Chains A and B, each alone.
Chain A
């Protein structure tokens, strides 16, 4: 573990040096295992936030108040500490530029992490696939990678839409409220564009997004979901 980066008050990115790392695909995750001195172990999965082109592996962890692993990773871990990982894992929820597009990425909370990897890969690979990211957070200070996403949204062919669900600044120019069928229609692709769709985040959000998109006429077979466990409420 090389470096810890504060992303939001509750999330940190872990930058790792892994000399034997064989590479990965955008969207994959790793399983992190912690072992206490008496042998007790706890394990959790974390999406890889870095692209295959990045020099170092990055994981972004949201601290859950009643979590067992995340408080350790966010509060206790220091540069120089060792971390036991298994991975990369995943063959379904992955995107590489050879798969084409256009892409619709819909994220809730920490569900944005695998999409950072996909966006960085899209930019680093020289691909011209059109991407639209719709990202839902509770408030502005909980938007992970805010600056980076703003910048990515200025690139040719990439659009980033943020929606805030609980509170927003007076002069907020982005969207307000939860993702619903209307917002998806407004910012997303039409079924005629045949987008490849990925949605990641808490189960209720991801399922409601999938239901809305299918009801709007999108092809179920072009929708891939990754449900995350409870995020802090």
Chain B
């Protein structure tokens, strides 16, 4: 049993709205930078986004082509498994639905792959019907590299490790295969409202 540290409160807000903040989370005003490796710096003229794997024909966009796609400006709450939540975060990006229109597939799953080698796995139903974007702007400015720029996946209804930084594409798969953190004991699905942090939760 740890002794209580007299007067220690930590970084948390005192009053969090339980309808906005999932169990075990606390709201933060800043935007913590979490990373499993060095920040990649792919020049934009070499950057591409791909949809590959279990598709009729892979699709690919250059940076210019990507920016020319119809974009949306979702404002969403995000929840990190390390317990911080950030409300009303404003993004701009391309809906994954828009990207998937370019391929024909019967796959049920995908692995997002990224510069630096990070991966995360998702069910297709977790990224369709307006649930996910590939975002390239945050708060009205180009997404900073430490936050995943030039583009990151944005899947706000799941813990933020699923919103893969430096994303370069989605590989569609017939079966579900664990990505990086999922392989080290984190939950395969990651719903913050069910507190699915770890395998077995």
- Listed in ascending order, the chain A residues whose CB lies under 8 Å from chain B are 33-37, 40-42, 66, 68, 72, 76, 78, 81-84
Contacts and interface: CB of A to CB of B under 8 A. Distances in A.
Interface of B: 2-12, 30
A68 B4 contact: no
Contacts of B7: 72, 76
A14 to B, nearest CB: 13
A81 B3 CA distance: 10
Contacts, number: 40
A35 B8 contact: yes
Contacts of A41: 2
Nearest to A41: B2
11 contacts: A33-B2, A36-B4, A40-B10, A41-B2, A42-B8, A66-B30, A72-B5, A72-B7, A76-B8, A82-B5, A82-B6
Given A37-B4, A72-B8, A78-B6, 4 more contacts: A36-B10, A66-B30, A72-B7, A82-B6
Nearest to A75: B7
Contacts of B9: 36
A34 B12 CA distance: 14
Which 10 pairs across A and B sit closest by C-beta, in order of nearness? A34-B5, A35-B2, A34-B8, A76-B7, A68-B11, A82-B3, A36-B8, A40-B10, A72-B8, A84-B2
A68 B10 contact: yes
A76 B10 CA distance: 12
A149 B7 CA distance: 34
